[in-house]
Amino acid sequence: MRHLYICVLVLFASALAVYSQNPIINYSFSADPTARVFDGKIYLYPSHDIESPVARLKDWFCMEDYHVYSSEDLVNWMDHGVILSQNNVPWVERDSYSMWAPDCVYKGGKYYFYFPAKAKNAKGFSVGVAVADNPSGPFMPDWKPISGIQGIDPCVMVDKDGSAYIYWAGNGLRMAKLKDNMRELASEPVLIEGLPEGFKEGPFVFERNGKYYLTFPWVKDKTETLAYAMGDSPMGPFDFKGIMMDESPTGCWTNHHSVVEYKGQWYLFYHHNDFSPEADKRRSVRIDTLCFNADGTIRKVKPTLRGVGVTNARMKIQIDRYSEASKKGVGISFVDEKNKFEGWKCELAKVKSWVRYNQVDFGTQPVQEVKMRVKSLHGGTLKVEVADKEVAQIKVPACKDWCIIRESVRDVPKGIQDVRLMLQQGGAVEIDWLGFDAVPWSAGAFETHQYRNFFAEMGYSQAAIDAKLNEVFNEVFYGENKVYFEVGDSMAYISDVKNHDVRTEGMSYGMMIAVQFDRKDIFDRLWRWCKKYMQHQDGRLKGYFAWSCQTDGTRNSEGPASDGELYYVTSLIFASNRWGNSSGINYLAEAQNILDCSMQKTGMDAVTPFINVEQKLITFTPTGFGARFTDPSYHLPAFYEVWARWANDGRSRFWRECAQKSREYLHKSIHPVTGLNPDYNNYDGSLLNSGGIIGDAFRFDSWRVPMNIALDYSWACADKEWQQEYGNKIQNFLYSQGLYDFKDQYNVDGSPVKEVLQAGEYKQLRHSLGLVATSAAVSLVCTDVKCYEFVKQLWEAKHEPYEDGYLDKYYDGLLRLFAFMHLSGRYQIIFPQ
Ligand code: FUB
């Protein structure tokens, strides 16, 4: 009874936090997980299995580097990238692919990362250490391995008094005390005695309530179980207690683990071969809850698919990771056998078969519909229950290919509830995922290479989507209202026809659109015009572009507007990735030239880099006073991630920091209630209060922000929660003004503007198509069902003169085209081909 009491308390505590499904890393292999808590965050240091590039390791462990991951909620894991690589460690044998199970601990202001690998000119494994000031690195490896250790799987335990002990596997489990420098042994290694027979590796030692737990993989029968012993001191002796996890049900020969307490709950991190059922040397990290009995012994942990914790109802719920299922009629298989990282699907094959998924958070606002990705040969009816109460019946039509269906739900309780899905009648139904309300994307395209086709999700046919996209594209480039004009055989410009000029904004947008549509002809023409008339080839502005020219190329203004440079660089990198650099224009060299020229500016002659180097934020313009503030609509953090990957200009780390800073800045720039932003503001997000008509209010420039945030979400998905909240917020505000009536200029608090900003020769508040477009594009991030109405409005909107005769072919036209590209999944990261 007492045992049960302890576990109930523990489970209750875990319900307060948010955790993920198993396996937790679903786009690459990961094994041997050591989890540690540093500064209130959980850090995961696994080894990194890969498909072997060398024949000798085809069926063996193959690991060339380590990544570190962190999480504050155990659901959203941030991959901090590679922290150590085999050929960057001086003592590791080149290309030995032997970076096995690591550990990382903190002591005296430094983080010590311990890892085994094959040393040059040595037999077997050695253990080395790399040191960092931060848990995510950078880690500097020592020149030589720790002397006195021959073996694998180091685990270091820093005791309450600050003494550190190292444990490893090398002809049995061994241990020694570490010196204060954490890089040398302070005592002779000793063999840990008193453990039963059976190959043992992967020791993990932790302390709880004055007891020391020596836990380790142990082969009792065929494959590794996880077992443990307990003692009163870090050096033992240890009393063998038994098994805490049985052999892997999927036949994975190894298991390797760590035990950690986080926010009052204990967890077991371990691995199985979920994504590689055919080869057990490609493994995946999992987490399950671990409970102790009152006497301190460990209760056996049962591996689950569900993992631990709470899943957001408004995100994809991978129902195949269920917590419970009917005895018969439920099948789980890969969505795509050829690409297992696509994950699993669940088949309900028999009437009355069901799956239950526990701990789904419905939040505090009622949900209105359920959405599912399904397939069914003959069609069937599914019943959805929340908290054991029916909330919907869904008729799944016969569909051989995956389709997304939506159905209203009634009286769904709020808070954390279980969801159950049952086949009510008809034939078998396969379910990839389900979710409530709009269900946005959960991972970025940098990682997944996938894009939402929002129109298709709403039920528009692909033929209709293609036709519409074509029509909108043609309007901009070839129709009666076109803004693209060819000049001679090799050049073209895009004109802001209402202002009778050519702007870097429109030219660089045109290049981005051209590379997205694989129109090298358009791209090259536009670039040649830019280079000939707009780009400064020498002088203090060298590399920058005159932001406005007449259509014959005469400059209206010499100075740059930084968003032009931003789009030029990104579209040139994409052009280089798509078409290479040897067909007449060296796109990459042109992008690098812009960046290099910019970064070489020193502020002399009042010209600075167009990215403010101290703030790591884009300037409004890199000349004069304009360098002292920014424009929220110039912030596209994902563009910097493109530069970090492919600009190849030696500034990757800086560009990544810019992406991060830009996201942080946007948080501060947006009104907390309305979601509106000003046209310009200070780098800290505060209003300029300049008194000018352009600046503090939400007007033309500002319209782009919702679309830009949608792009960042869909490409990088690095700021998911905030961006979802933002999307819902700005749509709520516009909706409150009337979906078909909202105006195109507001003060950021939502009050009406005193003075209306003129566009071309017209001064009029209107329901502008540009804002209709961008407020629809942000639906990609939204979780509220009203986002469908914004998209429907855009789909049906006509690009024709307003009542007073005004027609903005350029800005409305381009924003409309961008929005159509976004919502049809056709605005993509162009990876090197
Ligand atoms: O990952 C390679 C080896 O497999 C580890 O070092 C062992 O613990 C086992 O998991």
Q: What pLDDT, on the 0 to 100 scale, is given for residue 73?
A: 84
Active-site residue (options: 701, 712, 744, 812): 701
Active-site residue (options: 505, 696, 719, 808): 505
Q: Verify cis geometry, omega within 30 degrees of 0, for the bond prior to 237.
A: yes
**CATH number of the domain that residue 366 is part of:** 2.60.120.260
Which of 153, 155, 219, 223, when mutated, tests ligand 1's pocket best, judged by the most ligand atoms within 8 Å of its CB?
A: 153
699 and 728 both lie in a single domain: yes
- How far is CA 159 from each of CA 3, 111, 258, 823, rounded to the nearest angstrom? 27, 15, 16, 54
pLDDT tens readout for residues 14-35 = 222 233 699 999 889 999 999 9
Do residues 367 and 437 make contact, with C-beta atoms less than 8 angstroms apart? yes
Q: What pLDDT, on the 0 to 100 scale, is given for residue 20?
A: 64
160 and 252 both lie in a single domain: yes
Is 680 a domain residue? yes
181 and 51 both lie in a single domain: yes
Q: Verify cis geometry, omega within 30 degrees of 0, for the bond prior to 23.
A: yes
Whole-number Å distance, alpha carbon 258 to ligand 1 midpoint, is 13
Residue nearest to atom 1 of ligand 1 (CA): 100
User: In the listed set 385, 413, 439, which residue is the last one of a domain according to the structure?
Assistant: 439
Grouping H, G, I as helix, E, B as strand and the rest as coil, residue 35 is strand
254 and 355 both lie in a single domain: no
348 and 274 both lie in a single domain: no
Burial of 91 (0-12, 13-18, 19+ CB in 10 A): middle
Do residues 563 and 630 make contact, with C-beta atoms less than 8 angstroms apart? no
Which of 29, 30, 32, when mutated, tests ligand 1's pocket best, judged by the most ligand atoms within 8 Å of its CB?
A: 32
Dihedral through CA 644, CA 647, CA 651, CA 657, nearest 10?
-30
Greatest extent of the chain over all pairs of C-alpha atoms, in Å? 91
Q: Which atom of ligand 1 is nearest to the CA of 271?
A: 10
Q: What pLDDT, on the 0 to 100 scale, is given for residue 735?
A: 98
789 and 721 both lie in a single domain: yes
Q: Which atom of ligand 1 is nearest to the CA of 61?
A: 2
Whole-number Å distance, alpha carbon 202 to ligand 1 midpoint, is 7
253 and 353 both lie in a single domain: no
Residue nearest to atom 8 of ligand 1 (CA): 202
Do residues 588 and 659 make contact, with C-beta atoms less than 8 angstroms apart? no
Whole-number Å distance, alpha carbon 251 to ligand 1 midpoint, is 15
Look up residue 445 and give its two tokens. Answer: 């395209």
User: In the listed set 260, 290, 320, which residue is the last one of a domain according to the structure?
Assistant: 290
Question: Ligand 1 — pocket residues by CB below 6 A?
Answer: 31-32, 47, 61, 100-101, 152-153, 201-202, 254, 256
Is 180 a domain residue? yes
Amino acid at 341: F
Q: Which atom of ligand 1 is nearest to the CA of 49?
A: 1
Do residues 148 and 208 make contact, with C-beta atoms less than 8 angstroms apart? no
Whole-number Å distance, alpha carbon 212 to ligand 1 midpoint, is 23
Is 567 a domain residue? no
Amino acid at 745: Q
DSSP code of residue 607: B
Do residues 742 and 772 make contact, with C-beta atoms less than 8 angstroms apart? no
Is 650 a domain residue? no
734 and 818 both lie in a single domain: yes
153 and 253 both lie in a single domain: yes
pTM: 0.86
268 and 391 both lie in a single domain: no
Whole-number Å distance, alpha carbon 368 to ligand 1 midpoint, is 47
Number of domains in the chain: 3
* Alpha-carbon span 193 to 173, nearest angstrom: 8
- The domain in which residue 380 lies consists of 3-15+310-439
Give catalytic status of residue 701 as yes or no: yes
Q: What pLDDT, on the 0 to 100 scale, is given for residue 17?
A: 27
Nearest to 563 by CA among 507, 616, 525: 507
261 and 318 both lie in a single domain: no
Q: Which secondary structure element, helix H or strand E, spans residue 370, and what is its range?
A: strand 369-376
Q: Verify cis geometry, omega within 30 degrees of 0, for the bond prior to 138.
A: yes
Nearest to 24 by CA among 272, 234, 229: 272
Is 363 a domain residue? yes
Is 432 a domain residue? yes
Give catalytic status of residue 614 as yes or no: no
**10-residue mean pLDDT series, the chain (833 residues):** 30 32 93 98 98 95 96 86 95 98 98 98 95 95 97 98 97 97 97 95 98 98 97 97 96 97 97 96 97 98 93 94 97 96 96 97 96 97 98 96 95 97 98 95 88 95 97 97 97 97 98 98 98 98 98 98 98 98 97 98 95 98 96 98 97 95 98 98 96 94 98 95 97 98 98 95 96 98 97 98 96 98 98 95
Dihedral through CA 556, CA 559, CA 564, CA 570, nearest 10?
140
Give alpha helix (H) positions in 33-192: none
Whole-number Å distance, alpha carbon 281 to ligand 1 midpoint, is 9
**CATH number of the domain that residue 763 is part of:** 1.50.10.10
User: In the listed set 439, 470, 493, which residue is the last one of a domain according to the structure?
Assistant: 439
281 and 318 both lie in a single domain: no
- How far is CA 686 from each of CA 622, 698, 771, rounded to the nearest angstrom? 20, 14, 23
* Alpha-carbon span 597 to 582, nearest angstrom: 22
Is 709 a domain residue? yes
**CATH number of the domain that residue 144 is part of:** 2.115.10.20
Is 243 a domain residue? yes
* Alpha-carbon span 322 to 316, nearest angstrom: 13
